[in-house]
C-alpha cells in the first residue's frame, strides 16, 4: 500500500529528484479538461444551477475538452463501476471476452434472484432484490475495507501500520479481491460467470470469503493499533 | 615577483564552453537591422514589387521562390527574418566599470526572479495594511472579486521570456501561489493593475469553428456530411433527416459490420446524447485502423455532421461531452534498446 503525500510535498519531490523525468505523459495539452457525459446536467436551465456549478460551467466553456474514451457512453447501460471491473477482469486486451463474461455474470445473478423470488412466500417477495446492478454495487460496497495496512520502516524494523484508505484504493481493493478469489478458489470446470455471481450474492448478504478477508484485515489493523502514531501523513 | 617561465599550448586556446552563449552588442544588432531593411528593399526590387509595401509574408514567398529547398525541417530552410526574431533577447551587462553589479540581488543568481517576488510580497503587505485600516475604521471589506474565469496566469516559458532568465518549476509554482494568494484576499482589487501584467485572456473556444448549413438532395431530404479520424482510421459520413435510424457502413448493415456491442454503442452515442435516436439515417465509408478506431472515427464524423441540425447550445454541450474533439492518442513508437514502446528487455543478472 503506497504512502500518499500532500500536494505541495509531491510537487517539491518531483522537482527535487532531477534524474527522474516524467515518464507518464499524455498526448493532450495539460489544459484540457475531462468530458462530462451525463446529458441531464446539460438539460438543466440556467436558474436552477447553484453558484459553484455556474462558475464551473463558465470555466468549462473556455477550456478545451478531451475526447470521450470508447468505453464511455451516455446510454443508461454504461456504468463506470462496471466498466472498471470489466477492464480489471480483462486479460491480454481481450475486451470482447471480458464484456461477455460480465454480461453473463449479471444474467446469472438475475436468474438466481428470480428463482428465489418465485419460490418465496408473498410477504418476503418484496425484500428480494432482483436488479443485478444494485446487487453488484451493494456487494462491492460491502467488500470495501475501511482501513488498510502500510509498511513503514523505522529503526531497521518494518512495521505494519494501520492507515486510512482513499476511496479509489478501497474500490480497487474490493474489485481485486473479488477477481482473485474467483480465479483461484474454484472448481476446475466451473466457469467464471457462475463463480462470480455466487461470490457477488454472498457479498451482497455480507457472507463469503471476501467479507472474511476484509474482516481479517480490519482485525490486523486493530491489533497493530499501537503503531498508528508511526504514520506521518 | 613571479615570472612566467613555462606555458603549454593549452593555455593559449580559448575555452569556448566557459565563455557562455554568444553575446551580441547593441551596435551589432543595429547593424543587422539596417542590413535587413536594405536587403528587404533589394529583394522587393528583384521581385519587381513596391519596396515600401513589402511585408514579411512577401519576403517568405520570395525566399522560397529564389532558394527552393527540399529539406524536411522548416527551421533548416533558408529564411530571412527581422534580427529581433533571429537573435534571442539578451540582458545587457549587469555590472559597471568598477566590477560592482547594479542590482542589489545580483549575487543570488536569479536577480529578476527574486526582485519580482519581493515586489509581489510588498503588494501583499500593502493589501494587508489596507485591510487592517478598513477593519480599524469598522468598514466592511470590499468584496468585488475579479472574475478569474476568463483569464489564465502566464506560463513558465512566457515568464522566462519576460524576466530573461531561466526559472525552475518550483520557482514558477511559488510565484503563481503568491499571485493566487494576492488575488484571493478581500481587498485584492487595489493591485489589479499589477496583477494584469501576469494574466492573459482566454477567448471562447467555439468562435473558431464554422458550422456548415444543411444541404438538400433531390427528394428534398435534408442531409449533412462530416469527416472523422481516430488512430489510423478515416471516416466520411452523411446523415439524412426524416429517417428510421438505419445505419450503413461501406455498403454493409451496421449489425454485420460491427458485431461487438461496444462499437455500436459508440455509433449511437451522438444520437442518444441529442435524443434523436430513430430520426436520422446514416451512410458511412470508413477505411484503415481496427474495429474500435473505425467506430471512434465514425462517431466523430457523425457528431460533426449533426452540428448542422442542432442549436448552438447543444453544439456546446456536445463539445463539453467530448464528442467533437479529435482523439490525439496514437500508437507510441518502439524505441531502440527496448522490446516495445515501454517494455524493456528482460533484465539478466549475468
Residue A19 belongs to a domain: no
Q: Among A20, A73, A75, pick the best mutation site for testing chain B contact (most B Cβ within 10 A).
A: A73
Q: In terms of domains, do A122 and A226 share one?
A: yes
The closest CB to that of A42, out of B261, B317, B328, belongs to B317
CATH assignment of the domain containing A110: 1.10.455.10
Q: In terms of domains, do A144 and A36 share one?
A: no
- Which residues in chain B are closer than 8 Å to A96, comparing Cβ atoms? 260
Residue A10 belongs to a domain: no
Q: How many domains does chain A have?
A: 2
Residue A73 belongs to a domain: yes
Q: In terms of domains, do A115 and A222 share one?
A: yes
The closest CB to that of A75, out of B168, B203, B272, belongs to B272
Give the A:B interface size as CB pairs under 8 Å. 92
Show the domain range for A180. 79-230
Between the alpha carbon of residue B245 and those of residues B194, B216, B265, B280, B291, the distances in Å are 58, 19, 13, 5, 21
Q: In terms of domains, do A72 and A98 share one?
A: no
- pLDDT tens digits, B213-259: 888 888 888 899 999 999 999 999 999 988 888 999 999 999 999 99
A interface with B, Cβ–Cβ below 8 Å: 11-12, 14-15, 27-28, 31, 35-37, 39, 42, 55, 58-68, 70-71, 73-75, 77-78, 95-96, 99
Q: What is chain A's pLDDT, residue by residue, as a tens digit (233 residues)?
A: 444 434 444 444 443 444 445 667 888 887 788 898 888 888 877 776 677 777 778 778 878 889 999 988 888 888 899 999 999 999 999 999 999 999 999 999 999 999 999 998 888 888 888 899 999 999 999 999 999 999 999 999 999 999 999 999 999 999 999 999 999 988 889 999 999 999 999 999 999 999 999 999 999 999 999 999 998 88
Q: Which residue of A has its CA nearest to B172?
A: A15
Residue A156 belongs to a domain: yes
Query: How far is CA B213 from its chain centroid?
Result: 30
Q: In terms of domains, do A63 and A169 share one?
A: no
The closest CB to that of B321, out of A35, A59, A62, belongs to A35
The structural domains of chain B, ordered by start, are: 26-86 (no CATH), 106-201 (no CATH), 215-321 (3.30.230.10)
Residue A172 belongs to a domain: yes
Q: In terms of domains, do A122 and A49 share one?
A: no
Share the mean pLDDT of chain B: 88
Between the alpha carbon of residue A161 and those of residues A5, A9, A152, A168, the distances in Å are 16, 21, 7, 20
Q: Interface pTM (ipTM) of the complex?
A: 0.82
Short-list B307, B305, B314, B263, CA closest to B283 = B305
Q: In terms of domains, do A99 and A168 share one?
A: yes
- Which residues in chain B are closer than 8 Å to A73, comparing Cβ atoms? 265-266, 268-269, 272
Asked whether the beta carbons of residue A96 and residue B325 sit closer than 8 angstroms, the reply is no
pTM of the model: 0.75
Rounded Cα gap, residues B300 and B236, in angstroms: 10
Q: In terms of domains, do A89 and A185 share one?
A: yes
Asked whether the beta carbons of residue B322 and residue A71 sit closer than 8 angstroms, the reply is no
Last residue of a domain, one of A78, A103, A136: A78
Mean pLDDT over B307-336 rounds to 90
Q: In terms of domains, do A66 and A168 share one?
A: no
Asked whether the beta carbons of residue B150 and residue A62 sit closer than 8 angstroms, the reply is yes
Q: In terms of domains, do A115 and A151 share one?
A: yes
Are A233 and A164 within 8 A, CB to CB? Answer: no
Amino acid at each position: 500500500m503506497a504512502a500518499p503525500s500532500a500536494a505541495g510535498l509531491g510537487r517539491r519531490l518531483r522537482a527535487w529528484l532531477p534524474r527522474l523525468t516524467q515518464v507518464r505523459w499524455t498526448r493532450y495539452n495539460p489544459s484540457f479538461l475531462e468530458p462530462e457525459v451525463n446529458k441531464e446536467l446539460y438539460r438543466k436551465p440556467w436558474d436552477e444551477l447553484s453558484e459553484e456549478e455556474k462558475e464551473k460551467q463558465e470555466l468549462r466553456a473556455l477550456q478545451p475538452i478531451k475526447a470521450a474514451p470508447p468505453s464511455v457512453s451516455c446510454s443508461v447501460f454504461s456504468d463506470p463501476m462496471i466498466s472498471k471491473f470489466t477492464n480489471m477482469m480483462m486479460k491480454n486486451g481481450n475486451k470482447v471476452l471480458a464484456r461477455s463474461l460480465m454480461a453473463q455474470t449479471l444474467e446469472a445473478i438475475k436468474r438466481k434472484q428470480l428463482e428465489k423470488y418465485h419460490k418465496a412466500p408473498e410477504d418476503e417477495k418484496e425484500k428480494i432484490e432482483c436488479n443485478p446492478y444494485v446487487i453488484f454495487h451493494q456487494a462491492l460496497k460491502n467488500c470495501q475495507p475501511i482501513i488498510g495496512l502500510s509498511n513503514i520502516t523505522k529503526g531497521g524494523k518494518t512495521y505494519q501500520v494501520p492507515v486510512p484508505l482513499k476511496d479509489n484504493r478501497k474500490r480497487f481493493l474490493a474489485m481485486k479481491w473479488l477477481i482473485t478469489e474467483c480465479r483461484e478458489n474454484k472448481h476446475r470446470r466451473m466457469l467464471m460467470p457462475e463463480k462470480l455471481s455466487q461470490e457477488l450474492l454472498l457479498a451482497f448478504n455480507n457472507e463469503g470469503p471476501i467479507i472474511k478477508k476484509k474482516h481479517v484485515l480490519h482485525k490486523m489493523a486493530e491489533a497493530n493499533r499501537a503503531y498508528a502514531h508511526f504514520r506521518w501523513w | 615577483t613571479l615570472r612566467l617561465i613555462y606555458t603549454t599550448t593549452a593555455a593559449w586556446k580559448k575555452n569556448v564552453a566557459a565563455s557562455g552563449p554568444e553575446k551580441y552588442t547593441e551596435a551589432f544588432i543595429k547593424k543587422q537591422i539596417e542590413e535587413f531593411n536594405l536587403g528587404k528593399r533589394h529583394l522587393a526590387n528583384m521581385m519587381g514589387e513596391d519596396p515600401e509595401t513589402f511585408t514579411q509574408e512577401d519576403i517568405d514567398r520570395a525566399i522560397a521562390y529564389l532558394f527552393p529547398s527540399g529539406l524536411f525541417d522548416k527551421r533548416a530552410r533558408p529564411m530571412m527574418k527581422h534580427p529581433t526574431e533571429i537573435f534571442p533577447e539578451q540582458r545587457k551587462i549587469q555590472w559597471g566599470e568598477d566590477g560592482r553589479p547594479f542590482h542589489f540581488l545580483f549575487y543570488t543568481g536569479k536577480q529578476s526572479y527574486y526582485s519580482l517576488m519581493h515586489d509581489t510580497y510588498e503588494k501583499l503587505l500593502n493589501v494587508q495594511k489596507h485591510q487592517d485600516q478598513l477593519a480599524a475604521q469598522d468598514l466592511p471589506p470590499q468584496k468585488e472579486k475579479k472574475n478569474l474565469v476568463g483569464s489564465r496566469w502566464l506560463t513558465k516559458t512566457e515568464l522566462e521570456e519576460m524576466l530573461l532568465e531561466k526559472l525552475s518549476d518550483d520557482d514558477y509554482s511559488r510565484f503563481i501561489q503568491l499571485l493566487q494568494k494576492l488575488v484571493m484576499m478581500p481587498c485584492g482589487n487595489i493591485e489589479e493593475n499589477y496583477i494584469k501584467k501576469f494574466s492573459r485572456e482566454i477567448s471562447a473556444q467555439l468562435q473558431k469553428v464554422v458550422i456548415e448549413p444543411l444541404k438538400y438532395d433531390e427528394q428534398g431530404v435534408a442531409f449533412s456530411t462530416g469527416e472523422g479520424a481516430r488512430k489510423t482510421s478515416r471516416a466520411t459520413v452523411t446523415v439524412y433527416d426524416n429517417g428510421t435510424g438505419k445505419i450503413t457502413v461501406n455498403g454493409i448493415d451496421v449489425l454485420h459490420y460491427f458485431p461487438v456491442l461496444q462499437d455500436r454503442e459508440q455509433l449511437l452515442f451522438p444520437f442518444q446524447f441529442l435524443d434523436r435516436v430513430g430520426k436520422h439515417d446514416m451512410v458511412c465509408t470508413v477505411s484503415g485502423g481496427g474495429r474500435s478506431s473505425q467506430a471512434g472515427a465514425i462517431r466523430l464524423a457523425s457528431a460533426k455532421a449533426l452540428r448542422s441540425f442542432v442549436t448552438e447550445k447543444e453544439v456546446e454541450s456536445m463539445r463539453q461531452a467530448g464528442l467533437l474533439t479529435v482523439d490525439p492518442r496514437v500508437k507510441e513508437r518502439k524505441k531502440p534498446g527496448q522490446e516495445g514502446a515501454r517494455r524493456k528487455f528482460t533484465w539478466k543478472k549475468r
